Amino acid sequence: MTKFALAAATAMVPALAAAQVDQGPANADFEAAFENQTRAPALDDTAVTTETFVDGLDHPWGIALLPGGDYLVTERPGQLRMVMADGTLSEPITGVPDVDNREQGGLLDVAVRDDFAETRRVWLTYAKSVEGGTATAAATGTLSEDGTELTDVQDIFVQSPPADAPMHYGSRIVFEPDSDNAFITTGEHFTQVNRELAQDLGTTYGKVIRVDAVDGTAPEGNPFVGEEGVDTIWSYGHRNIQGAAVGPEGRLWTIEHGPAGGDELNLTEAGENYGWPVVSYGVTYSGNPVGSGDARQEGFAEPVYYWDPVIAPGGMIFYDGDAFDGWGGDILASGLVSQSVVRLELEDGRVTGEERIDVGARVRDVEQAPDGTLIVVTDEAAPNGALVRISPAG
């Protein structure tokens, strides 16, 4: 065989595809819009150890690190507790708003700002009973010095209109860097009628909301201030956003639940329409097409990454610790169905690799401890709800 013939024959042999995370068959038959938009190459497995940090919780949902290494953690039935750095669990903190604890509702996220030691200010999101139904709400209050009571609690956001379905509340709250503003995520309350409102700028269903974190007013720079639409809306066309974090570059990233397939990681920008329920990389739970039946159309923002089958996302962070070598700047996302922490490696705003760190339980939220290890929230009924520490093995 001549050198030319050998080269031609070699060129005809397809390159071996990079190994992917073992996740099973897809629900939908869509092609990705670009390389590594889904099923990115599998990263090398990280050797870890897991140990229960706190147990006996009832559907814990959100966690926030306090100065000094203590934590605040929510339980969906309506309890807010402090967890000491040594794992001691407090009695429920008083003064928490009443919650609608039906189905997916209850006390949901908790967050504090970097100035907590001076202000003692805490933010909560929750399902609120309102005249005509239920709504995602966000409130802020002051935690007493002894950590036993919230006072001066005031709502800064209440979703409208009231919903008839206690489902898909979204409900993460994160803070915009170098400003007084907060981003609050919502869901579209699940039903066929309700989900259409994710495209309706006259409602706050299926939206990212941007408000002043103390008084709830619409800040300058919101895309619909002075135009048709609710002036606190930042982005729209979302299904049920339960992960949100600000990246190292100061921009907002979110992860939302898809139906059967189609969980999405989005770089979430002002005024953008993310397509739900017109387009989706998933299908309905019965296997029928969603909306138009298309995965994408002109005018809708593409997800940076999507999963099919779903991970069923919870909270997320960008890792900036030293405990796990090579993780700096990576996304760590909670997975309920995947029962794992999902690590995504990013380069120039695109996913270049994925790893699953098995927890063996539904992971609802993840927080980075002061030493760079992880504290993950497992969403189980009492007494099985827990906080689990993940550390490097060895």
Query: How large is the average pLDDT for residues 303-308?
Result: 98
pLDDT of residue 228: 84
Selection from 180, 171, 181, 289 nearest residue 238 by Cα: 171
Ramachandran bin of 235, using left for φ above 0, alpha for ψ from -120 to 50, beta for the remaining angles? beta
Task: Out of 59, 168, 238, 257, pick the active-site residue.
Answer: 168
State pLDDT tens for residues 11-32.
433 445 689 999 999 999 999 9
Cα dihedral sign for 137, 138, 144, 147?
A: positive
Q: Kindly report the number of other CB atoms within 10 A of residue 321's CB atom.
A: 15
Query: How large is the average pLDDT for residues 363-392?
Result: 97
pLDDT of residue 278: 98
Q: Which residues are CB-contacts of 205 (< 8 A; sequence separation ≥ 6)?
A: 159, 163, 186, 187, 188, 189, 194, 195, 197, 198
Model's pTM, two decimal places? 0.95
pLDDT over 90 percentage in the chain: 94
Q: How far apart, in whole angstroms, are the C-alpha atoms of residue 355 and residue 215?
A: 40
Query: How large is the average pLDDT for residues 19-47?
Result: 96
Q: What is the dihedral of CA 188, 111, 109, 77, to 10 degrees?
A: -150
Q: How far apart, in whole angstroms, are the C-alpha atoms of residue 199 and residue 312?
A: 22
Query: How large is the average pLDDT for residues 51-73?
Result: 97
State pLDDT tens for residues 258-276.
999 999 999 999 999 999 9
State pLDDT tens for residues 308-361.
999 999 999 999 999 999 999 999 999 999 999 999 999 999 999 999 999 999
Strands 313-318 and 305-307: unpaired
Q: Which residues pair with 245 in a beta bridge?
A: 253
Q: In this structure, what DSSP letter does residue 66 have?
A: P
CATH of 46-392 given 3.30.70.20, 2.120.10.30, 3.30.70.100, 3.40.50.970:
2.120.10.30
pLDDT of residue 74: 98
Q: How far apart, in whole angstroms, are the C-alpha atoms of residue 18 and residue 172?
A: 34
Query: How large is the average pLDDT for residues 282-287?
Result: 96
Query: Could you tell me the pLDDT band of residue 226, with boundaries at 50, 70 and 90?
Result: confident
238 is an active site residue: no
pLDDT of residue 365: 98
Helix, coil or strand: residue 243: strand
pLDDT of residue 18: 82
pLDDT of residue 17: 63
pLDDT of residue 227: 84
Query: How large is the average pLDDT for residues 174-184?
Result: 97
pLDDT of residue 379: 97
- Over 80: is that where the pLDDT of 250 sits? yes
